[in-house]
A and B are shown apart, each in its own frame.
Chain A
């Protein structure tokens, strides 16, 4: 098996064994820290151990039994869901508009839409905090939704833009020539074709908001503290194993999401 050539230039597996070893080590580096907290979160002791000497759901109970933690989770959901909906609609509309205009104007507007990705987050956070202080939006859910929607826009725009790039515009034009209005043609012909891109844009928008720390650190407070803000303060000030339980739940969500995406992706390729 090792002497089998694996490239067109006849390099054998054995000759590039070092490559497999290096990549294996980097993969361990990438994956292990994400998964390690899961077994540790079942520790029964006061501190985290690996492997845990005794298993228990103690830290999960600590999370689910705490009004503050549950409230923070609820705030994060109440921010992330509207952010996802608004950013997906606004971002898809913008991507569609830009797709139909391919002039210098479109290039300029595209540049502006990418700005939230390029401007350092800390500066956005400080600036938003400053402006929100003037208009009384600090510590409100609405203010956080506005800021997170802005941050999520470039991801939706890029995802939907990629989908549109491989969409056959003739289909849209055919439906227009058959008498459909622009809106109807978009909703019943174009949108179903690019739905996977729109969905991945929506996932990106949700995750952008749900995982966002820096803006939430400045803008959310008190009653409307997000989960990430509470976790950040907790990790900074004390290493409380409750965070391990929450982290494990979040990692579990990511893994479930990846499995779902694998299956959706496979169904898509089979259709074509």
Chain B
């Protein structure tokens, strides 16, 4: 912008330079001002509410400053929620990585038509409401549901399996929700791999497996870690699917926050849980940033 202004107005001189400077400042300010409406909205509807909760978490029931809300986290019910949440988040992330990698790989390595078909099959669930998909899994997995019905018709089982209203159902539903978040960044990073590098590796005598492991895979770590980080963070705070598929027995972090408010009206406890959730989320995101930077540095 500045370069253009300098080059287009011919005559130099202090007066002109002063005008140009003023124009530049004005232009910079107008560019900045364009972000103000959005910033104000985020300030009012995100930062103020969340920071207010942080503030609340530092007070006990009597309104005194205390650590009571954080000390409570040592209780066994809280510890159980934490371990359940982390266990589910890890399982879902790892499953998404193993299921998503081959899909993204084939999508990036095949012709136009096949990769479009795969892409559409990833985008359909991506765009479909989480509620609709969770409902579908409920219909599929419940005791009188389709999968149990088919298995019984085939004579494989006598009594229906407990596939839903437990941790298994929650994990299946969450993998379905999260998988596109793994496949799409992986696909982007695989598409960026120069195919002639694989040819070069094979010319240098690498077997296909070696070429994949030593040349292809390291270049997809950026996609893998951003997908995994995003999924892990989303899992930590996930609410809808565990409530509907967990049947009350699979108790995750977000449910504990919600119940502290809707059942007990305990804002301090809910806020403290929220603070810990935000800190955990931030740490995971920082770890991902670290991996991304290192992967970027080795290139």
Q: Which B67-117 residues have a C-beta within 8 angstroms of A?
A: 99-100, 102-103, 105-106, 109-110
With contacts defined as CB atoms under 8 Å apart, how many contacts are there between chain A and chain B in the complex? Answer: 248
A93 in contact with B46 given A122-B254, A122-B257, A207-B127 (CB within 8 Å): no
Q: Counting CB contacts under 8 A, is A119 at the interface?
A: yes
Q: Counting CB contacts under 8 A, is B48 at the interface?
A: yes
Find out whether the CB atom of B239 lies under 8 angstroms from the CB atom of A37: no
Find out whether the CB atom of B233 lies under 8 angstroms from the CB atom of A97: no
| Mask of A230-258 contacts with B, CB within 8 angstroms, 1/0 | 01100110010001100100110011011
Which of these, B121, B132, B179, B254, contacts A37 with CB under 8 Å? Answer: B132
Find out whether the CB atom of B129 lies under 8 angstroms from the CB atom of A126: no
Tell me whether chain B's interface is mostly helix, strand or loop, or mixed.
helix
A34 in contact with B32 given A19-B106, A26-B102, A177-B4 (CB within 8 Å): no
Find out whether the CB atom of A153 lies under 8 angstroms from the CB atom of B261: no
- Cβ-closest chain B residue relative to A213: B240
Q: Counting CB contacts under 8 A, is A85 at the interface?
A: no
Which of these, B38, B176, B257, B278, contacts A153 with CB under 8 Å? Answer: B38
Q: Counting CB contacts under 8 A, is A165 at the interface?
A: no
- Interface size bracket, A side: 35 or more
Chain A binder among B14-22, B49-57, B155-163, B220-228 = B49-57
Which of these, A37, A97, A128, A239, contacts B35 with CB under 8 Å? Answer: A97
Find out whether the CB atom of B128 lies under 8 angstroms from the CB atom of A34: yes
Find out whether the CB atom of A177 lies under 8 angstroms from the CB atom of B254: no
| Mask of B24-35 contacts with A, CB within 8 angstroms, 1/0 | 000110111111
* B222 CB to nearest chain A CB (Å): 17
Using a Cβ–Cβ cut-off of 8 Å, how many residues does chain B contribute to the interface with A? 89
Residues of B within 8 A of A128 (CB): 45, 49
Q: Counting CB contacts under 8 A, is B65 at the interface?
A: no
Which of these, B34, B139, B179, contacts A30 with CB under 8 Å? Answer: B179
A8 in contact with B196 given A34-B136, A118-B285 (CB within 8 Å): yes
Q: Give A131 to B50 CA distance when docked, in angstroms.
A: 9
Residues of A within 8 A of B298 (CB): none
Residues of B within 8 A of A243 (CB): 135
Q: Counting CB contacts under 8 A, is A123 at the interface?
A: yes
Find out whether the CB atom of A115 lies under 8 angstroms from the CB atom of B46: yes
Residues of B within 8 A of A (CB): 1, 4, 8, 27-28, 30-35, 37-39, 41-42, 44-50, 52-53, 56, 99-100, 102-103, 105-106, 109-110, 118, 120-125, 127-140, 142, 144, 146, 176, 179-180, 195-196, 198-199, 201-202, 208, 211, 233, 236-237, 239-240, 243-244, 253-254, 257-258, 261, 267, 270-271, 274, 277-278, 281, 285
Known: A97-B32, A126-B271, A173-B1. 16 other contacts (CB 8 A): A9-B201, A34-B125, A40-B139, A90-B41, A93-B34, A98-B35, A101-B31, A116-B46, A120-B233, A122-B257, A129-B261, A130-B267, A150-B45, A177-B4, A211-B131, A258-B120
